[in-house]
Structure formats: structure tokens, C-alpha cells
Amino acid sequence: MFFLTETLVRLFVKNSRDATDPAVRAAYGNLASWVGIFCNLLLCAGKFLAGTLSGSISIAADAVNNLSDASSSVVSLIGFKLGARPADDEHPYGHARFEYLAGLAVAVMVLVIGVELLKSSVGKILHPAAVTFSWVAMAVLAASIAVKLWMSVFNRTLGKRINSGSLIATAADSRNDVLSTSAVLIASLISHFANVELDGWMGAAVALFILYSGVGLIKDTIDPLLGLAPDPELVQRIHDKIMSYPGVLGTHDLMVHDYGPGRQFASVHVELAAEGDVMASHELIDDIERDFLKNDRLPVVIHFDPIVTSDAQVGDMRRWLAGAVKTIDPSLSIHDLRMVPGVNHTNVIFDCVTPPGFAMGSARLKDAIARLVREKDPNYRCVITVETSFAAVPRTGETVQ
């Protein structure tokens, strides 16, 4: 399996190791789509012939399932080609979201086919007809299982290589086809040797499985269009790279905007010492932005947040409060802390970041934090701004020191 996959990649994908290059990514997508079209049409023809000769609705249903997979590959091919188009005046962020729209079209096609197959299968259950057993049909189903097993491995390998949710979903669909075709094969053998008619029931089962897959595909394609949260691994990688630069004290307010596979843009706040030279800080920020663009092909816009490091009292309070809010909930973090002394009390001003859907309301959260701060020092008064995070909090938690 691996040898055939690598052979196809070497033949049809130039510079295959540079998987982040949009042209290379499109070549991988085109290869996967053409392989899907060829294999699924071949399987559809074989199963349709076997189903027609035997009069089996379940084999015919499996053939139509392969036809829908071939149609999906055609739509994916169109999506990859349109998505690879460069940015223009009307679409300055490119056209990569065409891949998501292609996936949505495929999902709708799958649902329509599933409904039609279910209607035919129910008719076969209500009005059963004899099925002619054929070893040729069984051989076709067995060959289909082997081909679909390879296609699952093939698409998963390519999907992981270019980080394509579309190809990984296709791999899962091929794996599911292995299960459904195996069920049809087993049902045919049972019907023949045990004289139990299962054809209509198995056709209905395959149809329901197609419908279930279609609903899952719709969710997978709509989520990024609605604004799916960025991959936690990407969030962690951005965080770790920024923190690897000497002088960086912390990061927060990361936003990742997804304009299609391979077309992401990010903005983030980076905390640097307020006492440092402003030109040096600006140069450091430029270096980080260029690093992301060159090595990750990720345009990143960085906002400079100055942090007072010469005031020991502020530093101690920042470290203590970063840990204190986590006693309320481990997902909480703080940033932009300042302390403004007054005649009777000191204002402790900071932002507290919560995850989306945080159960505790802003007023309750502010009261809980203020209570912890008063227990530390009755002269402290909190001025808190509660924010919602647009990205998963890194596993290392609060990094501001």
C-alpha cells in the first residue's frame, strides 16, 4: 500500500516534500481526486453489473454509493482547482474556501442519494424479490473491499501530509465503505447458505449509513465557514515560537482567521519590557512576523504590549494573580496588569480571559477575583475587563512573568 502511494506521489507531485506550498498542495489534491474518480467509477461499474445480474438491491445500493464517491471526487477536484486560484482585487484573501464549498456540495449530493436508496430498499422489503446468488458478484465485492482499504490509507496519508480535512474525511469515508461492503458481502452469503432474505434490509442499512455520513460531512464543511476555532496544535505552535524569542514575556489575544486550507492569517499581542528600547522591540516584532511568514507561510500581525518589569510590586502581583485566577478555573488567564496607587487604596487594573461559553457570568467572575485580591491585601481594588478567548489557551497556561 505504502509503495503504491509513494510511487503515485513521485510521479504526479513535483516538490512533494514542500507540502505547505499552495501549488504542491493543489497537486496532492488533484492526485487524490483523480485516483478517487478512477477507482470509484471502476467499482461502481463492477458492482452495478453484479447487482443487475443478481437482482440484489444491496449490491446496487453499494454501486450507487461508489458513484456518489466518484461524484464527490469530481467536486473535490473542482474545489482544489478553484481554491488554488491566486488572490485578486475582489478576493484579497484568495479562493481557498472553494474547498469548503465543494465539500458542502458533496455532502448534499450524498444526502440526496441516501434518500433515494432508502426509498428503493424499503420497497424491496415490502415487496421482496428473489436474488440470484453469484460467486462473480461475491468476487467483485471482495475486490472492492481491498481497493477501498487501500484508498483509505492513500487518502489518510495525503491528507495528513498537506493537513487537508477534506482528504482525511475522504479516507474515513473509504474506511466506512469497507465496512458497508463487508456487510453486503456477509448478508449475501448468509442469504444464500441460510436461505434468509436480507437483501432489502441490508440495502436500507447501507442507505442509512450514507445518510449518516452525509450529515457528518455537512457539519465538517459548515464548521470552518461559520468560524471554527483554530487547531489547538496550531495555537500551541504559534505560542511556543513567539515565546522562544529572548525578551518576550508573554502573549495573549491570539486570533486566527481561516480563509480556506493553507490560507490562514493571525494577529496576536506580544508582551515586552516597557523599559526596553522601542526600536529594538519593534525590530524583534518584525523578526517574529518574518519568521512566521517565511517558515510557516502564516501572515501574523503583532501588537506590542509594554510590560513594566522594573516595579517589583507589580511583577509579584502579576505572578500571584496569574495563579490565583486558576483556582477559580484552570482555563482563566490574565494580562495587561497595572497598579495605580491612591490615597486610600491601590487600583489593580487588568484583563481576564475566559474560554467561549464560560459558565460563570462576568459579574460573578469579577466578584470572585476581587474577593481573592482583597484577601491578599484589603487595600487593593480590582478594575477588571473580562474578555473571551478566540483560541485555545496553551497547555503551559499563563506565561507572563
Pair type for strands 264-273 and 380-388? unpaired
Phi, psi (deg, nearest 5) at residue 382: -90, 135
Question: How many CB atoms lie under 10 A from the CB of residue 68?
Answer: 24
Three-state SS string over 47-100 comes to HHHHHHHHCCHHHHHHHHHHHHHHHHHHHHHHHHHHHCCCCCCCCCCCCCCHHH
When pLDDT is averaged across residues 155-166 and rounded to a whole number, the result is 84
Res 113: pLDDT: 73
Return d(Cα 129, Cα 115) in angstroms, integer.
21
pLDDT in tens, 343-365: 889 999 999 999 988 999 999 99
Asked whether the predicted pLDDT for residue 283 surpasses 80, the reply is: yes
pLDDT for 354:
94
What pLDDT score was predicted for residue 184? Answer: 76
Lowest mean pLDDT among 243-257, 301-315, 359-373, 380-394: 380-394
Q: Judging by DSSP bridges, how do beta strands 300-307 and 333-341 pair with one another?
A: unpaired
Lowest model confidence (mean pLDDT) among 160-164, 255-259, 345-349, 387-391: 160-164
Highest mean predicted confidence (pLDDT) among 52-56, 219-223, 294-298, 369-373: 369-373
Q: Which of 304, 303, 300 is nearest to 266 (CA)?
A: 300
Above pLDDT 70, what percent of the chain?
96
The residues, ordered by sequence, that sit 6+ positions from 311 with a Cβ below 8 Å of its Cβ are 339
pLDDT given for residue 194 in this prediction: 80
Q: Which of 178, 173, 200, 204 is nearest to 188 (CA)?
A: 200
SS3 132: coil
For residue 372, which amino acid is it? L
Decide if pLDDT at 398 tops 50: no
The CA-based dihedral angle spanning residues 344, 350, 351, 352, taken in that order and rounded to the nearest 10 degrees: -70
80 pLDDT band, cuts 50/70/90, is confident
- Amino acid present at 96: A
Q: Mean pLDDT, to the nearest integer, of 316-342?
A: 93
- Phi/psi at 283 (5° precision): -65, -40
Give the neighbor-by-neighbor strand order of the sheet with 264-273: 248-258, 264-273, 300-307
Among 57-61, 73-77, 242-246, 315-319, the minimum mean pLDDT is found in: 57-61
3-state secondary structure of 341: strand
Question: Which has the closest alpha carbon to 54: 179, 149, 147, 189?
Answer: 189
User: Which neighbouring-strand residues pair with 353?
Assistant: 333, 387
Angle at 350 between CA 348 and CA 354, to 5 degrees: 135
**Angstrom distances, CA of residue 386 to CA of 26, 114, 199, 348, 401:** 42, 47, 60, 14, 20
Segment 173-178 mean pLDDT: 81
Q: Letter for the amino acid at 281?
A: S
Cα within 13 Å of Cα(264), Cβ side: 23
Say yes or no to pLDDT of 11 above 70. yes
| Mean pLDDT confidence for 292-320 | 92
Q: 308: which 3 cell numbers?
A: 513594566
pLDDT of residue 304: 94
pLDDT score of 343: 85
Task: Round to whole Å and give the CA distance between 21 and 19.
Answer: 6
Model confidence pLDDT, tens digit, residues 110-134: 788 778 778 877 887 887 766 667 7
User: Residue 101: what pLDDT?
Assistant: 83
Query: Which of 79-83, 93-97, 330-334 is most confident?
Result: 330-334
Q: What is the helix (H) or strand (E) element at residue 239, kind and residue range?
A: helix 232-243
User: Is the entire prediction scored with pTM above 0.85?
Assistant: no
* Cell of residue 386, nine digits: 473580562
Cα distances (Å, whole numbers) of residue 387 to 43, 180, 265, 332: 53, 47, 21, 10
Residue 247 Ramachandran class (φ > 0 left, ψ -120 to 50 alpha, else beta): left
Share of the chain above pLDDT 90, in %: 39
Q: What is the pLDDT of residue 397?
A: 43
* Mean pLDDT value across the chain: 86
For range 40-68, the mean pLDDT:
81
